[in-house]
Structures are given as C-alpha cells and as structure tokens.
Amino acid sequence: MDFDTGLNKNNIYSSNWDVVVIGAGAAGLMTSLELPSKLKVLLLNRNKSKRSSSRWAQGGMAAVTRLEDSEEIHALDTIKAGAGLCDPEAVQMFVESAPRLVDRLLKLGMEFDRTSGNLSTTLEAAHTHRRVLHVKDRTGQAVVDFLNQQVDRKDNVIHQRGIRVTQIWVEGGKCQGVQVLDGPALRWIKAKAVVLATGGGGHLFANTTNPTQAAGEGVALAWRAGAVIEDLEFFQFHPTALKLDGAPSFLISEALRGEGAVLVDSFGKSPVKHLEGKDLASRDQVSRALFKAMQKQKVDYMGLNVQSIAVEDVEERFPSIFHRCRELGLEPLKEFIPIAPSAHYWMGGVSTNLRAETNIKGLYAIGEVACTGLHGANRLASNSLMECLVFANQMRNIELTDLEPSLISVSDTSFNKVNLRFSMNDGTEYLVQEIEKLRQLCWREAGVDRSQKGMQTALAKVKRDYQNLLNEPLLNLVFSQSKDVINGFDEIARRELNLLLDLSNRQMSSSLMLEACLFRKESRGGHYRDDFPTSVPFWKCHTRQMKGKNIHTRPIVDKTFLPKNL
C-alpha cells in the first residue's frame, strides 16, 4: 500500500479509480503524466512488451521552433494537406500549443537532436519549412521511453501490463469503468472516467507499418459503447515501406526524402515528377503515383535512392534504417531500397471535441484512436506524435462526476469457472487464418485504390462473418457478463477468447471503415475511388457513424481560422 495515495499496487481491484487510461503509447503515457496528481490513475497496457505504434514513429514531431517559420504557416500547411476537411479550431489549438509542449518536454529533460546547440529540424512531405524535431530516426521510441520514465515517478499512477480491456462500461449515458481480461479472469473495474489511447488500425491491412495490436480495437470498443465515430474512410498509406520477399514491412522514414533521397521506378526514372511537390508531395499523392507506376510497369515495388545524401550525414542521421536494411542483406549506399505503399495512419476515429471528450460523459479519446478534426482527409507528416501530447495536455482540466454505488465484488479469488471452447476444431489456428484472410481482403478492396463493387462484396462478407462469430458462446459470455461476476478460464479457453476478441474487433472496425468508404462517393485525401476519382464540393464534410443510426454527415466546424499575420 502506498500511504501517500492510498493505492494498493498489488491489487488493482481493491478500490475504485478516478481514471482508467487504456493504452501505453505516447497518448496514454502523456495523459497519465498530465492528469492531476490528486487523482488515482490506472494505466492499462494490453501488451507485456513495450510495443506500440508511437515507438515505431521514426520521423519526428512537428512544431514551430525556427524564426523563419510561424504557427500561421504551420496551420496553412496542415489545412492544405487535410484536403478541405480540417476543423480550423482544432488546427489553431494544435499549432499554438505545439511549441509550448516542446518546451515542456525540454524542461522535463527530453533530449532532441541539436545542431550547433540549436534544436535540429528536418523537412517532411507537405511542410513548407523545416519544423520536424527528431532523435535520429527513432523519435517515437525516444519519446515513449522518456514519458515512461516520467510516469513511473508518479505515485498516483499504477501502470499494469498484460491486461486487456474487453468492454467500456456505460450506464445511463455515463462511462462507469471497463471490463478486462486479466490473465484467466474476466471482470469489471469501476472508474469515474476512461481515456481511450489504444492507437490506430494499420494492422487491419495486410501491408502495414504498424504493430499487430494497431487493429482498430479502440474504435470497436467505442462504437459498441455508443460513441460517435468519424471519417473512417480516410487512411494514410505511407509511400515508402520496405518491400522485400519474406521480410515484414518496415517504415523507411520520409525524412530521408526530406534530406535529399529520391524515388525511382523500374526504369530509373522518377514516378512522381508530375506532382507539384515531386518526392515531397503529400503522402496520398505519392502513394497513388507509386501504386499506378507499379501497376503500369507490372512490378510490386519501386526504389528509393539515398546515394544523393552525404554519406557522413545519412548513416549518423538514420542508424535504425541502415541497420535494418543491412540485416536483410541490402546495402543502401550501393543499391536502391525496394519500397511500396503501406497502411500507416488512420485519420478517422472516435469523435472528440477540443477537450478530448466524446459524446459519452466520462469517456475520452486521445491519439490516433481519436478524430479531433485536426488531420482532415490527410494527416500532415509528424503532426500525429505532437497531437498525442497536445490533447493529452487538455486532461489537466478534467472534470469528474461521482460514481453510482458499486455492485462489484472486491474479491479476486472466487472465480466462476467457465468450461467453454470455440466451436471449430483447431480453434486457434482457424482464428489466426481468418484474421489473415480479413487483412488481405481489406488491403485488396480498401487499400490505396478502391471501387464500389469490391467494397460492397467485402462489406457483405465481413458483416456476415461477424454475425456468425457473435453466436460463439465464449464471445457471447463477454458481452452478457454481469457486473458482480468474475469469470475464470483455463489456458486454452483464454487463448481462444483473445483471438475471438481480436477477430471480432477487426471485423467491426473493418465493416465500419468499408461502410464509410462506400458512403463517400468522391476521392479526397487518403480516400481514393476509381469510380469517383475527383473531389466534389458536396462532400466537403465529415462522415459520422453511431450504433443504432444510419451513417450521416457533419459540416466542418464553422468558425473561420484567420492567421494573425496573413
């Protein structure tokens, strides 16, 4: 027992919590750091390892730190990249807060790369100025490790790994806590507020730069709870992921092109010379250009030439990329790096206001799982890592409501033993195969290039498979469990339940995404359709999805953002 906070670190079920934070990437860690110290905070991490999309972020963090740059220009770059769908209020808050958040990290002791004593910045796609701060080519890892150290020093925060949130508890329109799978036990945790910081959904696709757990779980949890979901059709496909037979997809940072690397096709020519920004055009434009060149030339990769960058600079600046390439037998200084577009970032997510609040009282969303209106139809490179910090910073002013009287048993020893199995033989193998088939389907029909016929067929299949899966007794038990019950599983059932949850959440998020893609009958930003290849003024609006309601639109936030000096 910590006598200063009253927290029992050996038993998280012995008391109710003020705030439960789901996810321990940059968004979840910064949220835990920013929440008032008087609050009891439980930080839940599904993984026992340190894996998160934030840790995989290579490029950096966007903020104005140079005299020749300005917040107004950063805003205009963001709005231009967003293809007409950025909410100006979100953009204004973000660009004005970003430099302050950099100062906050520096004062806490975070170390970014420097040149001649000044913060070093690089240029990335669609930025007009060098404003991306970095720690070599492993910025995300450095930020997450640093935030972890800071959170570990907070007496009011308990960080528990290996606990999976399976449902958000909502009663009377208020968030009351979460249901969790903790080892063999399925049980409930009471809390005055819950913060979703679960990351994105790149792993819904077969080709992705994201880790396995980035599979839209937060969107599925929020939708089932009754939260509003926005803009799921907008997915950013990073143009340059390593494409090598037998090797997992690996992000080749855009910062390489910012420093002078160039794209080449199978004939040694530029596949992006027709774009206004050429190699540093927006990611959606570059990805489509590469995809079309690959189709026309009947190849499955393009090349990235880094030989134009000074040798002494490139290896020191990008050690992780060079190390990974050489592990796979590639020598970037002598040959082109084989690359292809890969699912990278979800602009859509759980709809929030500028205080990170959802439409459900007591439920918040921060980071890639959220849709704040900042990114619009296409994220400006390196805005996302900073977005985690900016919106987590809003949690300093969180207002909590009192809990209803709890019916939860505090005993953690009396389990209701469950003797259930998945209905298929070789259950775990079958579920793993179904997940992979779904990923291939999403990549084929909802990837860089989309069309109505393919998406309609895919959506019908995913919905049918999801309904069939809901009939499984193991899964049904999760959604029907009483608040005062603790269910216990043997190891086989626990493994099968985890995979059932994985598949059902992926099916839910994939079907919502496909529905949004079919609904928007135009091409804009990260959403491109062969049958509707141009942008249409009518569709200059957000898409909204909510349980029990038909998909519909929301206008861009009305307040006009007028840069002060323009």
Catalytic residues: 283
Please give the angle made by the CA atoms of 338, 127 and 134, to the nearest 5 degrees. 70
Are residues 43 and 160 in contact, defined by beta-carbon separation less than 8 angstroms? yes
Question: Do residues 488 and 188 make contact, with C-beta atoms less than 8 angstroms apart?
Answer: no
What's the length of the chain? 566
Q: Which position has the token pair 């390196």?
A: 382
Q: Tokens at residue 53, please? A: 């999309």
Q: How many helices (H) and strands (E) does the chain have?
A: 15, 23
DSSP state of 488: E
What tokens does 377 get? Answer: 């139809």
> How many other CB atoms are found less than 10 A from the CB of residue 399?
10
Q: Do 342 and 223 meet the contact criterion of CB atoms below 8 Å apart?
A: no
Contacts for 466 with CB less than 8 Å, ≥ 6 apart: 504, 507, 508, 511
SS3 of 519-554: the string is HCCCCECCECECCCCCCCHHHCEEEEECCCCCCEEE
Closest CA to 475 of 166, 151, 212, 237: 166
DSSP helix/strand/coil, 4? coil
Which of 442, 375, 359 is closest to 367 using CA atoms? 375
Is residue 118 helix, strand or coil?
strand
Give the per-residue SS3 of 21-63.
EECCCHHHHHHHHHCCCCCCEEEEECCCCCCCHHHHCCCCEEC
Dihedral, CA of residue 276, residue 281, residue 283 and residue 285, to nearest 10: 10
Bridge partners of 196, per DSSP, are 22, 365
- Rounded (10°) angle between helices 88-108 and 139-152: 70
Query: Which pair of structure tokens corresponds to residue 394?
Result: 């809003």
